[in-house]
Amino acid sequence: MKANLLMLVSALGLSTSALANDAKVPVNLPAPKDGQYVHEAPTIDDLMADESVNPELRKVILKGYDMFMNTQQFRGEYVFNDMNCKTCHMGEGRMNWSGPVWPAATTLPDFRGKNQHVNSLEERIAGCFAYSMNGTPPAYGSDDMLAMVAYHQWLAKSAPVYERNIAGRGFSHLGKKIPEDVSYEKGQAVFETNCAICHGSDGAGQKKDGEVVFPPLWGDGAYNWGAGMTRIFTAASFIKNNMPLSKPGSLTDDEAWNVAWYINSQERPQDPRYTGDAKATREQFLNFHKHTRYGTEVNGQVLGQHDNTGDKPFLKPDSLKPRTFE
């Protein structure tokens, strides 16, 4: 993957020195708290070496892995933006503090505040398709969904079930509280100095021969207004731990907050839960949107007050329908 990226970078005429430095700047991640357990998710090499795995199961897990790494193969079917699952879930979905995906396999079914009902693992995966991928998931129970589930379950191998005290879950190591002096202008300066070279000064990312090399941060190809990454604290932590790609940990906490604030002040495809009024939608889902700038005024415009769903020819996928248990 690294070699691949390097080739594409030089093909784009960019300096490869930005990526050549494999020695990552260490990120000071918090130590596990008392009572938390650390899970090291197994790799694909482990899967290949594990003779106890039925060959048919191995094929299904590998299919799920391939879907996770190259979700763009389903462009126009399940995915309508430029993302792959691994674009945000670094280290193939295994890396702690970079949104490891396996906790969903050990803690679900569970109640989820975002949609106010008990969710299955399939439904959690569907959520990232609907918001982060600005798309619609493979049908529940389908071969493609089974493959996705199998990959998540494989990563969870040997982790305790229904034990929620997990070290390194999610992205939020900087905590949830946005600094009071967070600044759009400072964020813009951080962006132009450290990010625009790859993500483009218009935030639209870069493609080479139709293939996404650097993913967009805003605009039609980006995650939509309902995605977890629109929360300032999530983006700030993601950025602090992982960006700039070649030098993770090189930004100060303030720089990470400011650039997250800046990026998430830019337009992107509509929240699939949109009611026709961004301010009202913000109020309705305030539990989530209190962490985003959606439905607030930035530079004289209310963010998200538009009908643009990006490349997606619909607003809300059927998979987002609520579930009730009487």
Which residues bind to ligand HEC, rule: CB under 6 A?
Answer: 18-19, 68, 71, 83, 85-90, 99, 101, 103-104, 124-125, 128-129, 132-133, 148, 152, 169-172, 194-195, 197-199, 214-217, 222-223, 227-229, 234-235, 238-239, 243-246, 251, 259, 263
- Nearer to ligand HEC by Cβ, of 257 and 274: the residue is 257
Least Å distance, CB 320 to ligand HEC, is 15
Peptide bond into 244 cis (omega under 30): yes
- Nearer to ligand HEC by Cβ, of 280 and 290: the residue is 290
Peptide bond into 109 cis (omega under 30): yes
Least Å distance, CB 67 to ligand HEC, is 8
Torsion sign, CA atoms 283, 284, 286, 291: negative
Least Å distance, CB 195 to ligand HEC, is 3
Are 192 and 244 a contacting pair, CB within 8 Å?
no
257, 251, 268, 239: which is closest to 90 by C-alpha?
239
Least Å distance, CB 131 to ligand HEC, is 8
- Nearer to ligand HEC by Cβ, of 47 and 85: the residue is 85
Give the three-class secondary structure for 212. Answer: strand
- Nearer to ligand HEC by Cβ, of 154 and 171: the residue is 171
| Count of C-beta atoms within a 10 Å radius of residue 118 | 13
276, 283, 287: which is closest to 116 by C-alpha?
287
- Nearer to ligand HEC by Cβ, of 148 and 278: the residue is 148
* CA-based radius of gyration for the chain: 19
Least Å distance, CB 97 to ligand HEC, is 10
